[in-house]
Structure formats: C-alpha cells, structure tokens
Chain A
Amino acid sequence: MLDLYLNAIVSGLLLGGFYAAVTLGVAVSFGMLDVVNIAHPAFVILGSYVAYIVNAKLGLDPIVTGVLVLPIFYVLGQAIYQVSYLSFERKGSDSLRGLAFFFGLLFVTEVLLILVFGVDYRYVEAWYIGPTLRFGFIDLPLRMLVPCVLSIVLFGALHLFLSRTYTGRAIAAVSQDPTALRLLAIDPVRIKRIGFGLSIATAALAGAFLIVIQPVEPSVGREYIGRIFAICVLGGMGSLPGTLIGAILLGIVESITTTFFGPSWAPAVGFGFLLATLAFRPTGLLGR
C-alpha cells in the first residue's frame, strides 16, 4: 500500500513537471499579457510534430530539436501577436474576437496536421524512452524524468529573465497599465510581442517533451486546454513560481486519483482541488 502511494506521488511529481512546461507559456500570455491564447496546446502539438519529423528523417534527439527550433517558434509567436494586435487589440475588440481568432487558430492547426499526417499516433525514438531507474520500490521512468528536470530548467530560465531583466519586468507590468509603460519610454506593443514570442517558444519545447512522454496525434492537445488554464488560476495569475507549484500539485492529485480510484476520476478531482483552493485563496496560491 505504501509503495503504491509513494509511487503515485513520485509519478505525480514527474507529470506535474511536464504540466509546468505546457503551462509556462500560458502563464505569460494569459497571466501577464492578458492574451487569452487558447490555441496554446496547438503549438505544443506542432512542437511535437516538428520533433517527430526531424527524429524520423534525421534521427535527431527530439528534445535537442525542441531547443533548436525555439527561435523559429519565438518569431512565429511574434508574428501571431502582431496579426492579433493589428486586427483586434488596436481596435479595442480583442476580448471576444481575439478569443475567436485563437479558437480558430487551434482548429486550423489541428486540421492541417490531420490533413498532412493523418490521425495515427506518432512517436519518437531516443535512448531515454525505454529505461527506468529504480530506487527500492520507487520507479523513475526516464521518459518522465528527463522532461520533468528540463521543465524545471526552462522554468528557472524564464523566471530569471522575467524577474531580472528590464524587458522581463516590463512583460510583468504591461497588462496593468500600457499607457504608464509608454510614459517610461517603453513600447507596450513591442513588449507584448516579445512576451508572446517567448510564450510560443516554450510550447515548442513542451511539445518535444510531450512526444517523449507519450505518442501524439493531432487532437491530443485538447486534453490540455482545461488543465493549463486551471493550473494558471490555481497557481495565481501572472506568478511563474505559482504556476510551477500549481502544476506539480495538480500532477500529484491526478496521479493519486488515477492510482486509487481510476483515471476517469482524475479530471473531477483535479478541478475539485482547484475549486477548493480558490475558496480559500481567491487569487490562487501565489497570486498578487
């Protein structure tokens, strides 16, 4: 019983680390920039497919691919924000039309992936996908451990950037008062473009992690929409450390539920946990 329980907690920790990678980008775009990018999972899946293609054609490690395409996803994110800004935000109609835009982006990306690759599950090959480390009765599958550790590295890098650099601090401020930023000689549109670029770049890496953890088909991303926004709110809007803690807590709650009550209970218990947290801390765990 104890070993089952401990294993559930450990695998929840590992799963939570991965959830953090998927959610970090939304913590920036939704939490700091006020851009409700519900298409975020689509970019994660896109990252998975890029890792898959490069792995299948060139045999390159999927996570190395994820790192190499960071700049491409960064530029893609900047371009998408610019389109959304020019089309909606500048005209003050970003709340509903912007939402529809990102919803459309989600479906268009998914359908394009289905047209090109079909609905078969795709997977990658890497040395760490098979083996499992064992400490006594605790299992640490490397396909979970490697993404979890690298997620925490990604979290650390992003957190340092946001809290230590001028641009990072401006990203944290931009949705609170864009005009006040202009009065400090900072262009809020440029700041949001950079922030959104970073947000989409993290999705590329999260996508590489995803396809290491499990085989991927184009609609897998939908499973994450509810979860990532729940983690954002649970951790506290705009707080990166809160997002990490929220992701790990949700991972552990889901994992324990799956182990003892079956996987179909996991989302219910996960969201129940979110509601209970918000009842006591309406701004989330570390929300300001």
Chain B
Amino acid sequence: MNFTLKIWRQKDAKSKGGFETYKVSDISEDTSFLEMLDILNNDLIHAGKEPVAFDHDCREGICGMCSLHIDGKAHGPGQGATTCQIYMRKFKDGATITIEPWRSAAFPVIKDLVVNRGAYDQILQAGGFISVRTNSVPDANAIPIPKADADEAMDAAACIGCGACAATCKNGSAMLFVAARVSSLAKLPQGRVEGARRAKAMVAKMDELGFGNCTNTGACQAECPKSISIAHIARLNREFLSAKFED
C-alpha cells in the first residue's frame, strides 16, 4: 500500500509549526500505524532528515502514550482503540492521511506530534489517589464489594489518561478523565472515604489548569479508546455538587 502523509512539524514549543507532506510506499496492510511512522522515520534518517517526533510506548493499547489526531479523529479510524492498535488496512490504498498533535490549550506541543500531557498528572496529584498506610497486603476478601459496584469502578479504571477526551472535546474539557478517576475510586469502599475531598480538589485543579467546561456533547465517550461512558461525568457532578452543598 502507498500513502501520502500530511504531518504537523514543529521544531519546539516556541516555534511556529506547519504541515509537511511525505510519501510512504510498499506498506503491508498488516503494518500498525506506528510501525508505518517508524518506516517513514527510517527513510527520513537515511535521507539525512529530521525524523518525526511522536509519543509511543507499550504498543498494546494499555499505556496511553500514543496520541495523534488522524484524519480528524483522536487515535484515528475505528472505535475503542488507541493509535497503536490501528492497522493500515483501515485506510484506502493511495489515501492522503493528515496527522496532527492533540490540540488543547492545556496540552502544549513540545515537538512535532508530541504534546505535554503533564496537566493530567497534576490533576491526579490533586486527589486521584487513596491515603493508606503501606504495609503488608490486606486480605482481598476483608471488605466485600458488590459485583455491580466493582464492575462500574473497573469500567472507569480502564482510563489510560491518553488525553483523547480533552483533545476531542470542542471545549477542551477534561471532564471524562477526571470523572473516570473520581468514579473508579468513589464506587469502592477504600476510595469512598475521601470522595468529597477528591472531587473538589480534582475539579479545582482541572479548572486552574485551563481545561474547558463540559457541554454534554458526548464526543469524548465516542473517541475514548476505552469507551468510558459520560455516566461517570454525571457521577462526578453528583460527587462535586453534594460535597459543595455539604460545606
């Protein structure tokens, strides 16, 4: 398969970026999208040119490192998949593919397709944890948890913090990420204790970092590689508002 790639190139955070066009040829349809970029970079390096910088790590859809806005969609074509899980057979032979970095004021571009997603780490540090003394591992069955609650908490905990929600949202809102973190802990007895403090602290940090407001479009859940539901946003709203009214 042959492709024309329109890729956003930007020297550093302060430089002005722009699109550059590249050709890749003889790509197998079973090549993953990131492997295709590896092939392009190999060609660029052999030609004495600067390779394209892009984020990647586990390449099995669990680390949340790979990003990329491909042909107008976060993580490219298909639903419930990260960029590393996208294969070139998803594209038509001879297609022109536009690749952009995440666009959000809170995710500044570092270089080419790499953005700084440290804002999500800061939100987590504000309250996305439980305070327990580290000691020997407790008995797994010491605190019984209803199956439905455990399932819901695990669905929310599937969030890999990739940033696709804020990158897709027309408001640059991080609500789905914050909601997933709050929800995954709020449904479990260990996390319930600090529920009110967590919701308030994480929303306050999210606002402080310049993320936008949720307008319930549902675009985030449509593009989330882990298909996390906006029902968790409803829970975050409940947690936050009840905490504020209790103050």
Q: Does A associate with B in a complex?
A: no
Interface residues of B (CB under 8 A from A): none
